[in-house]
Amino acid sequence: MNAPDRNPRRAFIAAAGAGVAGLGFTAIAPGLHLMAVASEANAAARPAGTAASPAVRWGLLIDATKCAPGCTKCIDACHTENGVNEKLPDARQASQWIRKIELVDRRNGKKTELPMMCQHCAKPPCVDVCPTGASMKRADGIVLVDRHTCIGCRYCMMACPYKARSLVHVPLTEQNPEVPRGQGCVESCTLCVHRVDKGQIPACVESCPEGAMIFGDLNDPSSAIAKRIASVPTTQVRSDLRLNQAVRYQGI
């Protein structure tokens, strides 16, 4: 019900590869790479009854140079997958688990676009400030909100350096059965934890027609994401805060 149709994406990659020469070639190679990552994650599916392992640290690598201007496929895929679809009269009150940021370098006018979401910090300020411990980090590094104990105080929203969190401002009824979310609780990107636990990759990564996102285990030196990080310069946003995020960017 929720996964976007995959065929148009493949068609897009093929068209991009065939049509737009330079850009197309850079897009198709990571596209193939993406398939490899997907199967790798599938192989790592955790058996039922076992807990998330601290040996694993799930992460994302986003190549901003490949992020196509105006494209919102990852946002649409995320919000479809997670049932984030409520329309509010004041858009500032609606939840956004992931958003597209357009950057213009003040020094030279260079334009960049990239998707921004919960950065899944190793030392998350939201977890530090939460009075009830509802804001939590799983053993494998995924930062989540336990909505059973979230009281909706919004202190985590004040503390997050990335503006990654939203408060659900209205009663909800059409949640995805696998993604519970509700009024009065704070929420953010879960790194598609319900998919990752099944051995799938996050919806945003799967949806990216440019193959600009890689998902995988940062702790496994043989994983595609770890290899890429070891070979090309990547950055963590606001690295001055020393929060050691699991989401890294390339090309900013």
Partner 1 sequence: MKLLRLVATLLFAAVAVLPAPTFAGGGGRTPKPVVSIENPGKCVAPAEEMRRNHMEMLKHQRDRTLRQGIRGEPASLNACIECHASKRTGSVLGGKDNFCESCHSYVAVKLDCFECHQPKAKFKAAGLKP
Partner 2 sequence: MATLNPRHEEGLFYLLAAIGGLVSALGVGAALYMEHSGHVVTGMNNQIVWGLPHVVAIFLIVAASGVLNVASMGSVFGRKLYKPRAPLSGLLALAMISGGLAVIMLDLGRADRIMVAATHFNPTSVFGWNVILYPVFYGVVAVYLWTMMERRMYPWMKVAGFATFIWRIILTTGTGSIFAFLVARQAYGTALLAPMFIIMSFCWGLAVFLVVQSTMYAWNGLTLPPLVLQRMKNLLATFVAAVLYFTIVLHLVNAYFARNIAFEHFILFDSEFAGAFWLGQILIGTLLPLALLLNPATAAKSLWVNVAALLVLVGAYYQLYVFIIGGQAFPLDIFPGYDVKSSFMDGAVDHYSASLPEIILALGGLGIAFTMTTIGVRILHFLPQDDLAELEAAASATD
> Which residues are near partner 1 by CB under 8 A?
1-2, 46, 48-52, 80, 83, 85, 136, 138-140, 144, 146-148, 171-172, 174-178, 180-185, 193, 197-198
Structure tokens at 115: 């998707």
In the range 60-79, which residues lie near partner 2 by CB under 8 A?
Answer: none
Under the binding rule (CB under 8 A), the answer on residue 96 touching partner 2 is yes
Candidates 106, 105, 87; CA nearest to 95 is 87
Distance of closest approach, residue 68 Cβ to partner 1, in angstroms: 24
Q: Which is nearer to partner 1, 156 or 212 (CB)?
A: 156
Question: Do 74 and 214 touch, CB atoms closer than 8 A?
Answer: no
Place of tokens 């496994």: 220
Q: Which x/- pattern, by CB under 8 A, does the window 128-147 give for partner 2?
A: xxxxxxx-------------
Question: Do 48 and 199 touch, CB atoms closer than 8 A?
Answer: no
Q: Binding partner of residue 176 among partner 1, partner 2, none, CB under 5 to 8 Å per kind?
A: partner 1
Under the binding rule (CB under 8 A), the answer on residue 150 touching partner 2 is yes
Under the binding rule (CB under 8 A), the answer on residue 235 touching partner 2 is no
d(CA 86, CA 170): 8
Structure tokens at 163: 């503006």
Q: Binding partner of residue 8 among partner 1, partner 2, none, CB under 5 to 8 Å per kind?
A: none
Q: Between 6-18 and 21-43, two packed helices, what is the crossing angle to 10 degrees?
A: 140
Site stretch for partner 2 (CB under 8 A), options 47-55, 76-84, 153-161, 173-181: 153-161
Question: Do 157 and 130 touch, CB atoms closer than 8 A?
Answer: no
